[in-house]
Structure 1
Amino acid sequence: MRHFRVICWLVVAPVLLRAQHPVPVKPRILISTDIGGTDPDDNQSMAHFLMYSNLFTTEGLISSPSYGNGTKQHLLDMISLYEQDLPKLEKQAKGYPSPDALRAICKQGRHGLLPFKGYAAATEGSDWIIKCARKPSPQPLWILVWGGLDDVAQALHDAPDIQEKIRVYWIGGPNKKWGANGYAYIAGHFPDLWLIEDNGSYYGLFTDTAAPDSLRNDRYYDRYIRGAGHLGDDFKNYYKGSVKMGDTPSLLYMMDGDPANPLKASWGGSFTRFTHSPRFVFTRNTTLSDTVTVYSVAEFRFKGPVINLPPDSACFTMAVKAKIGQQTWPGYYLGDGNYAVRYSPKQAETLTYTITANIAGFAEQQGRFVVRNGWPGKTTPDDYRLGRNWFTDRPDAQLFEGIQQGGKTVSVWRTAILLDWAKRWAWLR
C-alpha cells in the first residue's frame, strides 16, 4: 500500500501542477546566503529571486559566508544588475521592489564558521534577523537559508523569543557539512523551532537526466537566457551558464499555495515530519565497523594535553578524505585537556580522517568510518530530540533522485519551473 501511494503521488503531481495557486498574501521573507563563497550557484539563485521578487515582501538579504569570502558587496552587485533590468520587468508585472529598498536591507553576517558551542558574537545580519522577526505582523518571517545556519543560530541565542515568530527553510546537505556547529546548537536548544531541513530534495532542480534537450542544464542558457538583459549577461559567469541553482527550491516553495503545509506536493519539494536528528558521539578513533547516517552530526571527542587556551578556541585540524578529495575542518579546545570536532557527511561513502595539531604532546589521530543512506534512520541515545515542527526529505526509495533523498519531489516539477522562468527571461529581451 505504501508503494501504491508513492506511485500515485508521482503520477498525480504533474496534474496538480496545472492547478497550482499563488500564495494568497505576499510572504515575508529574509534570505541568508553565502553568495560569493565557494559555490557560485548562489548568484544564479539570486538572479532567480530578483526576477520573481514582486511575489514577496522581502525584509532582509544577509551575506552569511560561513565558508569562503562572500560579502554584502556581492549582494549589492546583483542588485545593480537588477536595477538596469527593472524597467523591462516593470512593463510586465507590478510590485517589484526598488533597488534602493533592496540595498537598504542588505546586511553583513558572520564570516567564518561558528565555534563548537554554536554561537559567538552578534553580527549586523543576526541583529537584523531579530529586528525583522520582532516586527508586529500576522505573518511569520520566513528565513530562507542558502548556506550555513550561523546567523540564525546567533539570532536565536541572542533573542530566544523569536523562535515563535520565524519559519526556516534551510538548504542543508553540503551546507550542513560546513555548518555543523550552528545546526547542533539549534537542534539541541530550539527543538520547537519550525524548520524544513532540505538535505537532498533540492537536488531535483538541477538533475536533467530526463529533460528535453532545451531544458538540459548546459543548453538552457543558449535557448532562454542569452541576450536577456544584464542579469542574463551575468549568468554566463557562473558555471559557464550551466544551470545549477541548488538554493532556488526555497524560493519555489514560497511561490506555491500554502507554505505553512510542508507535507503537500509543491515546486519546492514535499517533506515529512521527523522527531530525531541523528547524532553520533565517538570518544575513540573510529574503524570500518562504525557506521553513521548520511546528513547526521558525527562528533569526535578525545583527551589531549592541557594547554593555556580559552575554551572553544580552534586549535587543531581534521582532514577528511572523501570521493571528492580532501577537505579540512577546525577542531576546538574545550578546556581541561578536552578536544572536539563535528563533521556532517553529505553522501553515503567510506571516509578516512586524520587529526593533527601544532601542540606539544598532541598525538595524531586517525580513523575511518562508513556513511550509509537512509536519513534519519533509527534512533540512537545521542540524537537531538525534535518537536513537531521539524520537516525533512521524504525517505521513500521511489522518491530518491540518484543518491539524493526526496529529489523527485522537486524534479517532477522541473520542466514547469524552467519554462515559467523562461517567460521572465523573455521579458528582458
Structure 2
Amino acid sequence: MSIIKKYLPFFTLLLSLPLSAQQPVAEKPRILISTDIGGTDPDDNQSMMHYLLYCNEFDCEGLVSSPSFGDGNKSEILRMIDLYEQDLPKLKEHNKEAKTPNAFYPSPEYLRSITKQGRHGAAPLAGYSTATEGSEWIVRCANRASDRPLYILVWGCLDDVAQALHDAPEIANNIRIYWIGGPNKKWGINAYVYIIENFPDIWMIENNSTYRSFIAKYKQKDRWNGGFYDYYVKGCGFLGADFYNYLHGMPKLGDTPSLLYMMDSDPANPEKDSWGGSFERYNYTPRHVFHHTTTAKDTAQIYSIIEWHIKGSVCKKLSIGDECITLNIANQNWRGYYLGNGNYVVKYSTYKTGTQPYSITSEIKGFPIQNGYITIDNAFPGKHLDTNYTVGKQWWSDRTGPTLFHDGHQGAATIFKFRKDIIEDWGKRCSWLKNINK
C-alpha cells in the first residue's frame, strides 16, 4: 500500500477542518497578566472580563496592576474578581466544556491572592527605578520551578517587567512576553528601551498593530461589531452587566488577542496561524536619532523610537536623567531629560502616520527652542539604519506582507480572518451566565 493511500483518511480529515478551527493547547499554559486597568483606556476592563470567563483555561500566577498613566490600581482588578465570584456558580457548571485538560475555574480567594500592585507612573530615563509589589511578584513567579515557561501578557507598558529584569536578570530565560505595544510604546518608552538594549535575546512578541483588527467597527450594528453587547452580553450575569460601563458595551478588546494566543495550538510558535495573531521574526527594530530640528522631509517609521538630541547650555543644577524639557506633539506633552555637559534628549513613538508639527521647549535659560515637523511612514520596521536596535532570534512582531494589512494595520489580517469565530465563542461563554443576576 502506498503512503498516500495509507494516510489518505488522515489527509482528508485535515483538509475538511475549517480555517476557523481553534486547536487546543496540549497543557494549561502558565500566565501572568500585567494591565493598566482603571487607567486611561477602558478596554482593559473588557479584556479582564474576557479573561475571567476563560480563566479555567490557564494556570494564572499573577494579576499585576501596572498603570503608567491614569489612576488605575489593583482595587479595580479586585472589584472585577468580586463580580466573578457572583457569577462563578454558573461558570462551574460548564467546566466540562473547557478547551484544555484539567480546566477548573479558580477560586476568588486564589485570584485575590495573586493580585499585586505595580508601578504608578512611567519609569524614568534609566527604564527602571525601585521594586514594586508587582515586579517582585513577577520575579517570584518566574523563578518558580516548572517545566513550563511563564508567559507574561502585557496589556499596557513594560515598566514592571523591566524592573523585574533589572532586579533579577536571570529570569530572562524563564519568561516569554506577549506585549500589546503600539500606543503603549510611547507611554512606557523608557522601559521598552531598557529591555531591548539589555535583553535583546529575550522571547518577545511585540504586537504593535496586529491586535487592531479585533477593535469593533462601532457603526456596524451586527453582532460581531456594534451589536455585540445587545446580542451576546446583555442580561448575562454580573460581569455582563458591568461590561456596559466601558464604551457603552462597544467592544474594543485591544488586549484580548494575548489571551486568544495562549488558547490556540502551540504558544511556543509565534509564526503559526492563531486566533491571537501570526508574527514574523525580526532581527532589528527601528530607532531614529536626530541631532537637528527636523522638517517634513525627515521620516521615521510608525512604532519606531524617535530621539531628538539637543545641544544647549550646561546646567550645574541638573543631574543626568532629570526631566527638564518638553516635547509637544499631537496635542500631548512628553518630558525629556538632561544627559550632562549641556546635552538633552527627548524620546517619542507614535502609531499615527503623516506629517506632524512639534515643539521642544524648556524653562532653562538659553535653551535652544525647536519648532519643526516629523513625517511618520506606515512601514515597520522599514529600512535598516545604523541606529536601529538589534534583537536576537526570539523577537517577533507584526507580519510585513502587504496582503496581511487590514484597514491599514500591518499584520491585522492574521486575526481578522478568525474574528467572527472568536466573537461567537466568547458569546457562548457569556450565555453561560444568562439571567444569573435576576
TM-score by length of 2: 0.91
Q: Secondary structure at the residue paired with 1:37?
A: coil
1:344 to 346, 349, 369: 349
- Between 1:180-189 and 1:137-146, the stretch displaced more is 180-189
Q: Do the aligned residues in 1 keep the contact of 2:150 with 2:175 (CA within 8 Å)?
A: yes
Shift of 1:262: 0.6
1:209 and 1:75, CA in 2 relative to 1: closer, same or farther beyond 3 A?
closer
Q: Secondary structure at the residue paired with 1:347?
A: coil
Q: What are structure 1's unaligned runs of at least 5 residues? A: 1-11
Taking the aligned partners of 2:57 and 2:64, their CA distance within structure 1 comes to 19
For residues 74-132 of structure 1, the C-alpha deviation after alignment (integer angstroms, 9 at most, x for no partner) is: 11111111111111101111511111111111111111111122111111111111110
Instruction: Name the counterpart of 2:85.
Output: 83
- Give the letter for the 1:49 counterpart: Y
Instruction: Name the counterpart of 2:243.
Output: 235
Instruction: Name the counterpart of 1:119.
Output: 128
- Give the letter for the 1:29 counterpart: I
Shift of 1:208: 4.2
Shift of 1:336: 2.1
Q: Do the aligned residues in 2 keep the contact of 1:30 with 1:143 (CA within 8 Å)?
A: yes
2:404 is aligned with 1:399: yes
Q: Number of residue pairs matched?
A: 413
Moved over 3 A (4+): 12-19, 207-212
1:295 to 290, 299, 303: 303
1:423 to 410, 423, 428: 428
Query: What is the 5 A alignment of 1:194-343?
Result: 194-208=203-217, 213-216=222-225, 218-307=226-315, 308-321=317-330, 326-343=331-348
Taking the aligned partners of 2:230 and 2:243, their CA distance within structure 1 comes to 11
Taking the aligned partners of 1:109 and 1:75, their CA distance within structure 2 comes to 12
- Between 1:27-36 and 1:202-211, the stretch displaced more is 202-211
- Give the letter for the 1:112 counterpart: G
Instruction: Name the counterpart of 1:358.
Output: 363
Q: Do the aligned residues in 2 keep the contact of 1:281 with 1:299 (CA within 8 Å)?
A: yes
Taking the aligned partners of 1:88 and 1:261, their CA distance within structure 2 comes to 34
For residues 147-177 of structure 1, the C-alpha deviation after alignment (integer angstroms, 9 at most, x for no partner) is: 0111111111111111100000000111112
For residues 34-85 of structure 1, the C-alpha deviation after alignment (integer angstroms, 9 at most, x for no partner) is: 1011110000000000000000000011111112111111111111111111
Q: Secondary structure at the residue paired with 1:405?
A: coil
Taking the aligned partners of 1:365 and 1:212, their CA distance within structure 2 comes to 46
Shift of 1:306: 2.2
2:41 is aligned with 1:39: yes
Q: Secondary structure at the residue paired with 2:271?
A: coil
1:242 and 1:210, CA in 2 relative to 1: closer, same or farther beyond 3 A?
closer
2:157 is aligned with 1:148: yes
TM-score by length of 1: 0.93
Shift of 1:362: 2.1
1:148 and 1:14, CA in 2 relative to 1: closer, same or farther beyond 3 A?
farther
Q: Do the aligned residues in 1 keep the contact of 2:216 with 2:224 (CA within 8 Å)?
A: no
Instruction: Name the counterpart of 2:4.
Output: none
Taking the aligned partners of 2:90 and 2:243, their CA distance within structure 1 comes to 17
Q: What are structure 2's unaligned runs of at least 5 residues? A: 1-13, 96-102
Shift of 1:305: 2.5
Q: Do the aligned residues in 2 keep the contact of 1:55 with 1:95 (CA within 8 Å)?
A: yes
Instruction: Name the counterpart of 2:178.
Output: 169
Instruction: Name the counterpart of 2:376.
Output: 371
Q: Secondary structure at the residue paired with 1:68?
A: coil
